[in-house]
Amino acid sequence: MSVAVPIPVIQLLQVLTIAIGAPFVTGVIAKVEARLQGRRGPRVLQPYYDLAKLFRKEALIPLEASWFFLAAPVIAVAAYLTIPLLIPVLTSYGLPPGYMGDILGGGFLLALASFVIATAALETASPYAQLGSSRAKTFSAIAEPVVLFVVFTVALLTGTDLPYALAATIRSSAGEIVRPGHLLAAAALFMVILHETGRIPVETHTGTNEFGMIEEARGFEHSGPYFALLKWGSELKQLILFTILANVFLAPWLLASTQQLGAIVLAIVAVLVKATAVGCVVAVIDNSFAKLRLFKITEFVAGAFLLAVLGVFTLYLGGG
Protein backbone atom coordinates (compact mmCIF):
# COMPACT_ATOMS: atom_id res chain seq x y z
CA MET A 1 0.00 0.00 0.00
CA SER A 2 1.65 3.17 -1.06
CA VAL A 3 -1.21 5.58 -0.58
CA ALA A 4 -0.04 8.71 1.23
CA VAL A 5 -2.46 9.96 3.86
CA PRO A 6 -2.69 13.77 4.11
CA ILE A 7 -1.33 15.22 7.36
CA PRO A 8 -4.67 16.69 8.59
CA VAL A 9 -6.30 13.28 8.13
CA ILE A 10 -3.55 11.63 10.19
CA GLN A 11 -4.11 14.24 12.87
CA LEU A 12 -7.84 13.47 12.82
CA LEU A 13 -7.06 9.74 12.99
CA GLN A 14 -4.97 10.33 16.13
CA VAL A 15 -7.98 11.84 17.86
CA LEU A 16 -10.39 9.23 16.50
CA THR A 17 -8.11 6.34 17.57
CA ILE A 18 -8.20 7.62 21.14
CA ALA A 19 -11.89 8.54 21.03
CA ILE A 20 -13.11 5.23 19.62
CA GLY A 21 -10.44 2.98 21.11
CA ALA A 22 -10.87 4.14 24.72
CA PRO A 23 -14.01 2.11 25.60
CA PHE A 24 -12.43 -0.92 23.91
CA VAL A 25 -9.34 -0.76 26.15
CA THR A 26 -11.59 -0.38 29.19
CA GLY A 27 -13.58 -3.40 28.05
CA VAL A 28 -10.47 -5.52 27.62
CA ILE A 29 -9.22 -4.58 31.10
CA ALA A 30 -12.59 -5.48 32.63
CA LYS A 31 -12.54 -8.81 30.78
CA VAL A 32 -8.98 -9.64 31.85
CA GLU A 33 -9.79 -8.69 35.41
CA ALA A 34 -12.85 -10.94 35.41
CA ARG A 35 -10.88 -13.86 33.98
CA LEU A 36 -8.23 -13.38 36.69
CA GLN A 37 -10.98 -13.62 39.30
CA GLY A 38 -12.40 -16.75 37.66
CA ARG A 39 -15.48 -14.99 36.30
CA ARG A 40 -16.60 -14.90 32.68
CA GLY A 41 -16.83 -11.15 32.76
CA PRO A 42 -18.65 -8.70 30.51
CA ARG A 43 -18.22 -8.56 26.75
CA VAL A 44 -15.21 -6.61 25.55
CA LEU A 45 -17.62 -4.27 23.75
CA GLN A 46 -19.76 -3.71 26.85
CA PRO A 47 -18.47 -0.15 27.50
CA TYR A 48 -19.80 0.87 24.04
CA TYR A 49 -23.25 -0.52 24.87
CA ASP A 50 -23.14 1.26 28.24
CA LEU A 51 -22.33 4.56 26.58
CA ALA A 52 -25.01 4.06 23.91
CA LYS A 53 -27.58 3.30 26.60
CA LEU A 54 -26.65 6.33 28.67
CA PHE A 55 -26.72 8.64 25.65
CA ARG A 56 -30.35 7.62 25.03
CA LYS A 57 -31.49 8.26 28.61
CA GLU A 58 -32.94 11.50 29.90
CA ALA A 59 -30.82 13.81 32.04
CA LEU A 60 -31.91 14.94 35.49
CA ILE A 61 -30.39 18.02 37.07
CA PRO A 62 -30.22 18.89 40.78
CA LEU A 63 -32.28 21.96 41.67
CA GLU A 64 -29.31 23.97 42.92
CA ALA A 65 -27.10 23.30 39.93
CA SER A 66 -26.32 26.04 37.40
CA TRP A 67 -25.43 25.82 33.72
CA PHE A 68 -21.88 24.90 34.68
CA PHE A 69 -23.09 21.52 35.95
CA LEU A 70 -24.08 20.61 32.39
CA ALA A 71 -21.16 22.33 30.69
CA ALA A 72 -18.49 20.54 32.76
CA PRO A 73 -18.67 17.08 31.12
CA VAL A 74 -18.56 18.70 27.67
CA ILE A 75 -15.54 20.86 28.58
CA ALA A 76 -13.80 17.82 30.11
CA VAL A 77 -14.28 15.66 27.01
CA ALA A 78 -13.17 18.55 24.79
CA ALA A 79 -9.99 18.87 26.86
CA TYR A 80 -9.35 15.12 26.66
CA LEU A 81 -9.85 15.13 22.89
CA THR A 82 -7.34 17.98 22.49
CA ILE A 83 -4.51 16.05 24.13
CA PRO A 84 -4.12 13.46 21.32
CA LEU A 85 -3.13 16.37 19.08
CA LEU A 86 -0.08 16.98 21.28
CA ILE A 87 1.24 13.47 21.92
CA PRO A 88 2.61 10.81 19.56
CA VAL A 89 -0.37 8.48 19.14
CA LEU A 90 0.30 7.27 15.60
CA THR A 91 3.33 9.06 14.17
CA SER A 92 6.95 9.32 15.24
CA TYR A 93 7.22 12.75 13.61
CA GLY A 94 5.48 15.78 15.05
CA LEU A 95 2.25 16.70 13.31
CA PRO A 96 1.61 20.45 12.89
CA PRO A 97 -0.15 21.13 16.22
CA GLY A 98 2.14 18.60 17.93
CA TYR A 99 4.64 21.27 18.92
CA MET A 100 1.88 23.56 20.14
CA GLY A 101 2.12 22.19 23.67
CA ASP A 102 4.67 20.14 25.60
CA ILE A 103 4.10 17.51 28.29
CA LEU A 104 3.17 20.29 30.70
CA GLY A 105 0.57 21.50 28.19
CA GLY A 106 -1.00 18.05 28.18
CA GLY A 107 -0.82 18.05 31.98
CA PHE A 108 -2.63 21.39 32.11
CA LEU A 109 -5.43 20.04 29.90
CA LEU A 110 -5.80 16.96 32.13
CA ALA A 111 -5.86 19.20 35.19
CA LEU A 112 -8.45 21.50 33.56
CA ALA A 113 -10.75 18.55 32.85
CA SER A 114 -10.37 17.28 36.40
CA PHE A 115 -11.00 20.79 37.75
CA VAL A 116 -14.26 21.37 35.87
CA ILE A 117 -15.60 17.95 36.87
CA ALA A 118 -14.74 18.64 40.52
CA THR A 119 -16.40 22.06 40.34
CA ALA A 120 -19.54 20.58 38.80
CA ALA A 121 -19.60 18.00 41.60
CA LEU A 122 -19.42 20.82 44.14
CA GLU A 123 -22.43 22.51 42.48
CA THR A 124 -24.70 19.57 43.22
CA ALA A 125 -24.54 20.00 47.02
CA SER A 126 -24.56 16.20 47.24
CA PRO A 127 -22.28 15.03 50.06
CA TYR A 128 -20.67 12.12 48.21
CA ALA A 129 -19.93 14.10 45.06
CA GLN A 130 -18.42 16.89 47.16
CA LEU A 131 -16.41 14.42 49.19
CA GLY A 132 -15.09 12.89 45.99
CA SER A 133 -14.10 16.21 44.46
CA SER A 134 -12.46 17.43 47.64
CA ARG A 135 -10.44 14.22 47.91
CA ALA A 136 -9.55 14.22 44.23
CA LYS A 137 -8.17 17.75 44.50
CA THR A 138 -6.27 16.97 47.72
CA PHE A 139 -4.52 13.94 46.29
CA SER A 140 -3.86 15.43 42.87
CA ALA A 141 -2.12 18.32 44.62
CA ILE A 142 0.28 15.71 46.00
CA ALA A 143 0.64 13.91 42.66
CA GLU A 144 1.41 17.11 40.77
CA PRO A 145 5.05 17.49 41.98
CA VAL A 146 5.71 13.94 40.80
CA VAL A 147 4.56 14.88 37.31
CA LEU A 148 6.76 17.97 37.43
CA PHE A 149 9.80 15.92 38.37
CA VAL A 150 9.04 13.43 35.60
CA VAL A 151 8.99 16.42 33.21
CA PHE A 152 12.33 17.60 34.65
CA THR A 153 13.78 14.16 33.95
CA VAL A 154 12.51 14.31 30.38
CA ALA A 155 14.02 17.78 30.02
CA LEU A 156 17.40 16.56 31.31
CA LEU A 157 17.30 13.57 28.96
CA THR A 158 16.36 15.45 25.81
CA GLY A 159 17.01 19.14 26.39
CA THR A 160 13.33 19.82 25.69
CA ASP A 161 10.09 18.57 27.14
CA LEU A 162 8.27 17.66 23.96
CA PRO A 163 6.87 14.13 24.09
CA TYR A 164 7.98 13.54 20.47
CA ALA A 165 11.57 14.39 21.41
CA LEU A 166 11.69 11.88 24.28
CA ALA A 167 10.24 9.12 22.11
CA ALA A 168 12.90 9.87 19.48
CA THR A 169 15.67 9.89 22.11
CA ILE A 170 14.60 6.50 23.43
CA ARG A 171 14.46 5.04 19.94
CA SER A 172 17.97 6.34 19.24
CA SER A 173 19.98 3.81 21.26
CA ALA A 174 19.70 0.92 23.71
CA GLY A 175 21.78 2.94 26.18
CA GLU A 176 18.94 5.43 26.48
CA ILE A 177 16.47 2.69 27.46
CA VAL A 178 18.48 1.37 30.40
CA ARG A 179 19.38 4.80 31.77
CA PRO A 180 18.30 4.84 35.42
CA GLY A 181 16.90 8.37 35.04
CA HIS A 182 14.57 7.23 32.28
CA LEU A 183 13.49 4.02 34.04
CA LEU A 184 12.89 5.80 37.35
CA ALA A 185 10.81 8.49 35.64
CA ALA A 186 8.79 5.86 33.75
CA ALA A 187 8.13 3.94 36.98
CA ALA A 188 7.08 7.16 38.73
CA LEU A 189 4.76 8.01 35.84
CA PHE A 190 3.23 4.53 36.00
CA MET A 191 2.47 5.01 39.70
CA VAL A 192 0.92 8.41 38.92
CA ILE A 193 -1.20 6.75 36.22
CA LEU A 194 -2.45 4.16 38.72
CA HIS A 195 -3.37 7.09 40.93
CA GLU A 196 -4.96 9.18 38.18
CA THR A 197 -7.04 6.38 36.71
CA GLY A 198 -8.34 5.45 40.16
CA ARG A 199 -6.91 1.94 40.32
CA ILE A 200 -5.81 -0.27 43.19
CA PRO A 201 -3.90 0.50 45.43
CA VAL A 202 -5.45 3.98 45.41
CA GLU A 203 -9.09 3.36 44.66
CA THR A 204 -11.43 0.53 43.74
CA HIS A 205 -12.98 1.54 40.43
CA THR A 206 -15.80 -0.99 40.62
CA GLY A 207 -18.53 -1.27 43.20
CA THR A 208 -19.97 1.46 45.37
CA ASN A 209 -17.74 1.78 48.37
CA GLU A 210 -18.72 5.39 49.01
CA PHE A 211 -16.26 6.08 51.79
CA GLY A 212 -13.30 4.88 49.76
CA MET A 213 -14.29 6.70 46.59
CA ILE A 214 -12.24 9.50 45.14
CA GLU A 215 -12.60 10.08 41.41
CA GLU A 216 -15.59 7.79 40.95
CA ALA A 217 -17.73 9.70 43.41
CA ARG A 218 -17.63 12.93 41.44
CA GLY A 219 -20.19 11.87 38.84
CA PHE A 220 -22.84 10.73 41.33
CA GLU A 221 -25.36 13.43 40.41
CA HIS A 222 -24.88 13.37 36.66
CA SER A 223 -27.21 11.29 34.55
CA GLY A 224 -28.08 10.48 30.97
CA PRO A 225 -25.86 11.86 28.19
CA TYR A 226 -23.87 13.96 30.66
CA PHE A 227 -22.99 10.90 32.72
CA ALA A 228 -22.10 9.14 29.48
CA LEU A 229 -19.70 11.98 28.67
CA LEU A 230 -18.12 11.67 32.13
CA LYS A 231 -17.70 7.91 31.72
CA TRP A 232 -16.33 8.30 28.23
CA GLY A 233 -14.06 11.07 29.54
CA SER A 234 -12.51 8.83 32.18
CA GLU A 235 -11.99 6.12 29.55
CA LEU A 236 -10.34 8.70 27.28
CA LYS A 237 -8.11 9.87 30.12
CA GLN A 238 -7.06 6.29 30.80
CA LEU A 239 -6.17 5.60 27.17
CA ILE A 240 -4.34 8.94 26.85
CA LEU A 241 -2.22 8.20 29.93
CA PHE A 242 -1.53 4.64 28.73
CA THR A 243 -0.54 6.01 25.32
CA ILE A 244 1.84 8.53 26.89
CA LEU A 245 3.42 5.77 28.99
CA ALA A 246 3.73 3.35 26.07
CA ASN A 247 4.47 5.63 23.12
CA VAL A 248 6.66 8.16 24.89
CA PHE A 249 8.36 6.31 27.73
CA LEU A 250 8.33 2.53 27.43
CA ALA A 251 7.87 1.38 23.85
CA PRO A 252 7.96 4.18 21.26
CA TRP A 253 8.24 1.65 18.44
CA LEU A 254 5.89 0.70 15.59
CA LEU A 255 4.84 4.32 15.17
CA ALA A 256 4.38 5.48 11.59
CA SER A 257 7.47 7.30 10.35
CA THR A 258 5.91 8.07 6.96
CA GLN A 259 2.50 9.08 5.68
CA GLN A 260 1.87 5.67 4.07
CA LEU A 261 -1.56 4.20 4.74
CA GLY A 262 -0.10 0.83 5.71
CA ALA A 263 2.18 2.35 8.33
CA ILE A 264 -0.71 4.38 9.79
CA VAL A 265 -2.98 1.32 10.03
CA LEU A 266 -0.16 -0.65 11.69
CA ALA A 267 0.35 2.23 14.14
CA ILE A 268 -3.37 2.28 15.03
CA VAL A 269 -3.29 -1.45 15.80
CA ALA A 270 0.03 -1.11 17.65
CA VAL A 271 -1.11 1.69 19.94
CA LEU A 272 -4.26 -0.24 20.92
CA VAL A 273 -2.23 -3.42 21.54
CA LYS A 274 0.31 -1.50 23.63
CA ALA A 275 -2.40 0.24 25.66
CA THR A 276 -4.12 -3.12 26.20
CA ALA A 277 -0.82 -4.60 27.38
CA VAL A 278 -0.40 -1.77 29.91
CA GLY A 279 -4.04 -2.37 30.88
CA CYS A 280 -3.36 -6.05 31.52
CA VAL A 281 -0.50 -5.13 33.87
CA VAL A 282 -2.86 -2.74 35.65
CA ALA A 283 -5.48 -5.51 35.91
CA VAL A 284 -2.92 -7.88 37.43
CA ILE A 285 -1.94 -5.20 39.97
CA ASP A 286 -5.64 -4.65 40.66
CA ASN A 287 -5.99 -8.31 41.57
CA SER A 288 -2.79 -8.73 43.56
CA PHE A 289 -2.88 -5.83 46.00
CA ALA A 290 -5.28 -4.48 48.57
CA LYS A 291 -6.63 -0.95 48.49
CA LEU A 292 -4.63 1.40 50.66
CA ARG A 293 -6.31 3.19 53.52
CA LEU A 294 -7.12 6.75 52.56
CA PHE A 295 -4.35 8.32 54.59
CA LYS A 296 -1.80 5.86 53.26
CA ILE A 297 -2.35 7.10 49.70
CA THR A 298 0.03 9.96 50.40
CA GLU A 299 2.71 7.36 51.10
CA PHE A 300 2.04 5.70 47.75
CA VAL A 301 2.38 9.05 45.99
CA ALA A 302 5.44 9.82 48.11
CA GLY A 303 6.97 6.60 46.75
CA ALA A 304 6.38 7.86 43.21
CA PHE A 305 7.89 11.20 44.21
CA LEU A 306 10.99 9.43 45.54
CA LEU A 307 11.44 7.61 42.22
CA ALA A 308 11.05 10.82 40.21
CA VAL A 309 13.41 12.79 42.45
CA LEU A 310 16.07 10.08 42.32
CA GLY A 311 15.66 10.07 38.54
CA VAL A 312 16.49 13.77 38.45
CA PHE A 313 19.40 13.25 40.89
CA THR A 314 21.00 10.52 38.79
CA LEU A 315 20.91 12.82 35.77
CA TYR A 316 21.65 16.20 37.29
CA LEU A 317 24.08 15.32 40.10
CA GLY A 318 25.16 11.80 39.20
CA GLY A 319 25.99 12.50 35.57
CA GLY A 320 24.15 9.44 34.22
Partner 1 sequence: MVLAGPASAPGVYEGAANVIAAVMLLLEFGMLRQALARDQVRLYAAQSAMISVLAIVIAADRNLPDLYVLAGLSAALKVVGVPLVLRRLLGGAVGDEEAPGVAGSHTITPATAALAGIVLAAYGFFCFGSLGIHGPAAPATAWAIAGAMVLVAFGLMIVRRDVASQAIGFFSLENAIALAALVVAAGLPLILETVILFDGLVAVVVFGMLIRAHHSRAESLSTADLTRLRG
- Whether the bond between 201 and the residue before it is cis, its omega within 30 degrees of 0, is yes
Amino acid at position 185, single letter: A
Q: How far is the CB of 135 from partner 1 (least distance, A)?
A: 19
Q: How far apart are the first and last CA of the chain?
A: 43
Q: How far is the CB of 270 from partner 1 (least distance, A)?
A: 24
Q: How far is the CB of 184 from partner 1 (least distance, A)?
A: 6
DSSP 8-state secondary structure symbol assigned to residue 291: P
36 vs 177 by CB, closer to partner 1: 177
Tell me if 81 sits within 8 A of 20, measured CB to CB. Answer: no
Q: How far is the CB of 111 from partner 1 (least distance, A)?
A: 24
| Residues 6+ positions from 29 with CB-CB distance below 8 Å | 276, 279, 280, 282, 283
| Residues 6+ positions from 274 with CB-CB distance below 8 Å | 242, 243, 246, 247, 251, 254
Q: How far is the CB of 255 from partner 1 (least distance, A)?
A: 20
66-104 core/surface letters (b: 16 or more CB in 10 A; e: else): eeebbebbebbbebbbbbbbbbbbbbbebbeebeebbbe
Q: How far is the CB of 34 from partner 1 (least distance, A)?
A: 32
β-bridge partners, 260: 4
105 vs 180 by CB, closer to partner 1: 180
81 vs 310 by CB, closer to partner 1: 310
Instruction: Give the integer Cα–Cα distance in Å for 162 and 178.
Output: 20
55 vs 313 by CB, closer to partner 1: 313
φ, ψ of residue 256 to 5 degrees: the values are -70, 130
3-state secondary structure (DSSP) of residue 152: helix
Binding site for partner 1 (CB under 8 A): 156-159, 169, 173-180, 183-184, 298-299, 302, 306-307, 309-310, 313-320
126 vs 176 by CB, closer to partner 1: 176
Q: How far is the CB of 157 from partner 1 (least distance, A)?
A: 6
Q: How far is the CB of 317 from partner 1 (least distance, A)?
A: 4
256 vs 297 by CB, closer to partner 1: 297
Q: How far is the CB of 246 from partner 1 (least distance, A)?
A: 20
162 vs 268 by CB, closer to partner 1: 162
DSSP calls for 232-253: HHHHHHHHHHHHIIIIIII---
Helices (DSSP H) in the chain: which residue ranges? 7-36, 46-56, 67-82, 103-123, 127-158, 163-172, 174-177, 180-196, 224-243, 261-288, 297-316
67 vs 295 by CB, closer to partner 1: 295
44 vs 185 by CB, closer to partner 1: 185
